[in-house]
Amino acid sequence: MSLFKRASGILLHPTSLPGPDGIGDLGPEAYRWVNFLAESGCSLWQILPLGPTGFGDSPYQCFSAFAGNPYLVSPALLLDEGLLTSEDLADRPEFPASRVDYGPVIQWKLTLLDRAYVRFKRSTSQKRKAAFEAFKEEQRAWLLDFSLFMAIKEAHGGASWDYWPEPLRKRDPEALNAFHRAHEVDVERHSFRQFLFFRQWQALRQYAHEKGVQIIGDVPIFVAYDSADVWSHPDLFYLDETGKPTVVAGVPPDYFSATGQLWGNPLYRWDYHRETGFAWWLERLKATFAMVDIVRLDHFRGFAGYWEVPYGMPTAEKGRWVPGPGIALFEAIRNALGGLPIIAEDLGEITPDVIELREQLGLPGMKIFQFAFASDADDPFLPHNYVQNCVAYTGTHDNDTAIGWYNSAPEKERDFVRRYLARSGEDIAWDMIRAVWSSVAMFAIAPLQDFLKLGPEARMNYPGRPAGNWGWRYEAFMLDDGLKNRIKEINYLYGRLPEHMKPPKVVKKWT
């Protein structure tokens, strides 16, 4: 039996929310966004990974698979709590409204978080101090390692952990204890940032639940090399005696890149994970489901088989397919955590073993409307070929916007789209939304950019491009009643309204 009911949602990462601090956060605009979703009849909010981002600002390359992104902490909520004052915010720089300029934003947000920490240490209530201590105890499985990792990184000018002094790099207990004693405030400061993030996120999630909105989170299959996870658990990964990866992750040449994508993440020693009963994965998913309601497993095909590239290769072309953990991992998950609401991101080069694994598990896959028009009527991404147990999208964060895609597509594909939709192409974004919404797919989701009819300037990510991604933000005026009512109308027309918004059924009487 499916864990899901027919519904719809919008893809929007919290960084894309409006607000005065240069980046979307978990404050007032996030609550307004949840209201907008609920009032438009959308019961799903899909986000990208929530972890702390580093070089390149990618949510898929985080310093931890367990921690939250401190840049998402809302200064407005800290002001309400008395952890900041209006004077603390008086020197706020002028930030662009439609893009995240990460350099100045990070500097500003960390300055505010440091001010909040100082005020917390000086004058906070015993109740809040007790809550912080309880948080540290609840998250002890990862929090101290993460906080140490970040403090050591700071003390070494932001250097990757493989460039630290050997005793710290290899986690010598005496060296770690000595560092902790000498930098106790720095370590605690990072734990405090996590405390703030988790409090704000859980309050927002609770509000979303009250409004009937579920959150679809995102779990990247791989973790970043320069992360607390790899540093604190090197035995889980293929590393050499110096701590460098021997092989790294990527994907072969595909729709997105002629030379493939060289992700560079270290690869798992799945044999070791199996010996431990997949303990680290169980902890990871347990932690994720404490934050979100449904999980999209990114690069699901990697659980059946993954592309292994020797470390040091300039592109991903010279790799090989290696079997993944397969059904054994998911049986361990099911035995430990029960049946979980998981979406399989089954895009890219999909082989029969991937389809078999997804079907064995009964997981919904993904259908991307933009991928449908390069062949013929049998293309599996065309809506008439969808099955009910799938999640349909106009596009994802890795695609151009609907308008950007259509305007740059070959004329042969554009012609196919117009004929398929029986439309002129003048309102292509909404024509595509309508096609996805009207399909049998259990969930229908589109990026907010498509509802707003925005072009390539609003694209979230260019796969393979190392910088200049993840910056788009909407402005508050864009979410008006006209848009809300138009979304509500298609949710009504295609049976995707939540139960409490559906009009009473009219029973026809035959005479």
* Residues classed as catalytic: 298, 345, 398
Q: What is the spatial distance between Cα 3 and Cα 331, in angstroms, rounded to a whole number?
A: 17
Could you tell me which of 451, 449, 444, 453 has the C-alpha nearest to residue 491? 444
Q: What is the spatial distance between Cα 111 and Cα 435, in angstroms, rounded to a whole number?
A: 46
Q: Is 232:61 a contact under the CB 8 Å cutoff? A: no
Q: Is 251:315 a contact under the CB 8 Å cutoff? A: no
Q: Which two tokens stand for residue 120?
A: 């917390």
- Helix, strand, coil percentages in the chain from 3-state DSSP, rounded to 5: 45, 10, 45
CB atoms within 10 A of CB 477: 8
Q: Which two tokens stand for residue 151?
A: 């403090």
Could you tell me which of 130, 151, 229, 232 has the C-alpha nearest to residue 193? 151
CA distances from 95 to 27, 92, 112 (A): 17, 9, 15
DSSP string, 356-408: HHHHHHT--EEEEGGGGGSS-TT-TTSGGG--SSEEEES--TTSPPHHHHHHH
Q: Do the bridges between strand 44-46 and strand 7-11 make them parallel or antiparallel, or are there none, so unpaired? A: parallel
Q: Which two tokens stand for residue 439?
A: 């399909």
Q: What is the spatial distance between Cα 149 and Cα 146, in angstroms, rounded to a whole number?
A: 5
Looking at the chain, the number of H-run helices and the number of E-run strands are: 19, 12
